[in-house]
């Protein structure tokens, strides 16, 4: 069987696109591999009725790329562009030890964290994601192609932002690509609300990207290094080297700006407030109307912060392996050492403070009044140490299970609209004109899919695929 291979690259100057597109034809089969130059990329394979049809479709795809500026190239000549990773320097704490109940060793410095009543999620710089139960037992694990920058929730959906510029949906059996940020964007942080993604980058630009992975707007803030972006129903809150700026959700209009001493390194939000941890050793609390409410003084640069419900307590983690608790008015209640590095991200839930750290730990800390009082007196529990399992994690894949049983789930189909592949629902009871937010890497023109659930977005106007997806025979 003969093989015909075409390899193309698009590499633009000044930080523009830097990606490849490879087409391999084997008789009736066409294999397409694409992604950033230097990465393995994603692969899609399609079989055609005849070799002639396979050749014709492959040629069409190649010509489309050539019209967009791709050129024939030799693989390996151009090198992968670097990705900015936050420096994770950490020094030991001199404070008394916090009451750590258990700590899980993920294997590499970790930024990604999400906690609810059922699962504790951690994502690290090796691209590994683990889901643990509230007692620290591993329930599931995934492997992404690059380091995990953050894990964010949007109602029942859970997403991981990755150093490869993609955002992965974690609600199914394997991770699926939901968003692909432009190659020239050096992502620092992500957040999501009602299917609309907020993205901040190294240069101080913040952007809103819709459910079809298309930019709604982007704005250049007054500072750089956008390590904070938080989204709610009315706006996007962007923290950068010169403070915090709020933008209107719909059109990107600037609503307010508040300066901070030192650059913003982390952000948190509650219903009516946003919090910004800074390099100047302070956590700032702003109302969502743009008023400065309180400041919380730490003893070193603040890597992370969080709050209890309604902001009754505010927590912070510094770059010297210490964690803090303040009351709403700004009074420091306690400072304790983590014993496992500096907290790069954190979350509070039901008297427990969860942190992910520079040494790769996900630690569960008893933040109840009794436990903290005992720790300040020098009495702490023996922390349970948990190691990552050695079994192979589930990796990103474009492969789909197939089925002919349509009794459970909703049916969606993929169709072409201009140069885009879109998804619509064809099951009864759904609006056929609405598009579906659907993984990008498994779309195939003309294919039909059985989706575990199709849900209307909270904003209306489009649907969202939830859970497992199978291809219909």
Gap between the Cα atoms of 74 and 107, Å rounded: 36
Residue 127 near residue 145 (C-beta atoms within 8 A): yes
User: DSSP of 177-243, one letter per residue?
Assistant: EEEE--TT--EEEEEEETTEEEEEETTSEEEEE-TTS-EEEEEE-SSS---EEEE-SSEEEEEETTE
Residue 283 near residue 303 (C-beta atoms within 8 A): no
Q: What mean pLDDT is reported for the chain?
A: 91
Q: Is 100-387 in the same CATH topology as 3-72?
A: no
Gap between the Cα atoms of 318 and 300, Å rounded: 6
- Give φ, ψ of 379 to 5 degrees: -110, 120
- pTM comes to 0.83
Q: Which residues of 256-290 are buried (b: 16+ CB within 10 A; e: fewer)?
A: bbbebebbbbbbbbbeebbbbbbbbbbbbbbebee
Tokens of 424: 């619509």
Q: For position 440, what pLDDT does the model report?
A: 87
Residues forming beta bridges with residue 286, ordered by sequence position: 274, 292
- 42-79 per-position pLDDT tens digit: 788 889 999 999 999 999 999 988 888 888 988 877 76
Q: Name the residue among 167, 152, 156, 163 with its Cα closest to residue 112.
A: 152
Domain boundaries, the chain: 3-72, 100-387, 402-472
Q: Is the dihedral of CA 255, 259, 265, 266 positive or negative?
A: negative
Low-confidence residues of the chain: pLDDT under 70: 1, 12-17, 79-89, 182-185
CATH T-level assignment (fold) for domain 100-387 = Methylamine Dehydrogenase; Chain H (2.130.10)
Top CATH class of 3-72 equals mainly beta
328 burial via Cβ count (<10 Å: 0-12, 13-18, 19+): middle
Q: For position 390, what pLDDT does the model report?
A: 84
Q: Name the residue among 216, 195, 180, 194 with its Cα closest to residue 443.
A: 180
463-472 and 402-403 beta bridge pairing? parallel
């Amino acid at each position: 069987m003969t093989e015909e291979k075409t390899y193309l690259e698009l590499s633009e100057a000044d930080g523009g696109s830097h990606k490849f597109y490879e087409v391999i034809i084997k008789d009736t089969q066409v294999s397409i591999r694409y992604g950033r130059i230097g990465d393995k990329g994603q692969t899609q394979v399609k079989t055609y009725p005849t070799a002639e049809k396979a050749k014709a479709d492959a040629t069409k795809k190649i010509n489309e790329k050539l019209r967009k500026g791709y050129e024939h190239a030799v693989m390996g000549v151009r090198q992968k562009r670097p990705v900015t990773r936050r420096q994770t320097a950490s020094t030991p704490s001199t404070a008394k030890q916090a009451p750590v109940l258990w700590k899980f060793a993920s294997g590499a410095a970790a930024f990604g964290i999400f906690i609810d009543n059922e699962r504790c999620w951690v994502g690290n710089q090796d691209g590994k994601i683990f889901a643990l139960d509230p007692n620290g037992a591993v329930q599931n694990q995934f492997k992404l192609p690059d380091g995990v920058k953050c894990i964010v929730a949007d109602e029942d959906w859970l997403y991981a932002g990755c150093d490869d510029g993609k955002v992965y949906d974690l609600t199914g059996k394997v991770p699926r690509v939901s968003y692909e940020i432009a190659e020239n964007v050096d992502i620092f942080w992500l957040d999501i609300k009602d299917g609309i993604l907020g993205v901040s980058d190294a240069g101080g630009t913040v952007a809103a990207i819709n459910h079809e992975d298309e930019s709604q707007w982007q704005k250049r803030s007054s500072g750089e290094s956008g390590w904070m972006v938080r989204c709610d129903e009315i706006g996007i809150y962007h923290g950068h080297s010169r403070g915090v700026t709020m933008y209107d959700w719909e059109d990107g209009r600037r609503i307010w700006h508040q300066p901070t001493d030192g650059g913003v390194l982390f952000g948190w939000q509650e219903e009516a407030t946003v919090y910004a941890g800074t390099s100047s050793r302070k956590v700032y609390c702003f109302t969502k109307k743009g008023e400065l409410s309180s400041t919380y003084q730490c003893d070193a640069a603040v890597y992370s912060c969080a709050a209890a419900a309604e902001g009754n307590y505010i927590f912070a983690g510094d770059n010297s392996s210490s964690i803090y608790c303040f009351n709403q008015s700004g009074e420091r209640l306690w400072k304790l050492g983590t014993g496992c590095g500096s907290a790069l991200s954190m979350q509070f839930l039901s008297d427990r403070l969860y942190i992910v750290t520079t040494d790769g730990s996900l630690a569960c800390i008893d933040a109840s009044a009794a436990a903290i009082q005992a720790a300040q007196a020098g009495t702490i529990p023996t922390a349970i140490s948990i190691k990552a399992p050695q079994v192979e994690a589930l990796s990103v894949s474009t492969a789909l299970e197939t089925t002919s049983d349509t009794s459970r789930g909703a049916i969606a189909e993929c169709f072409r609209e201009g140069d885009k592949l879109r998804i619509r629902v064809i099951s009864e009871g759904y609006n056929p004109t609405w598009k579906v937010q659907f993984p990008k890497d498994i779309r195939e023109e003309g294919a039909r899919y059985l989706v575990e659930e199709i849900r209307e977005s909270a904003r209306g106007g489009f649907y969202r695929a939830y859970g497992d997806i199978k291809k219909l025979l």
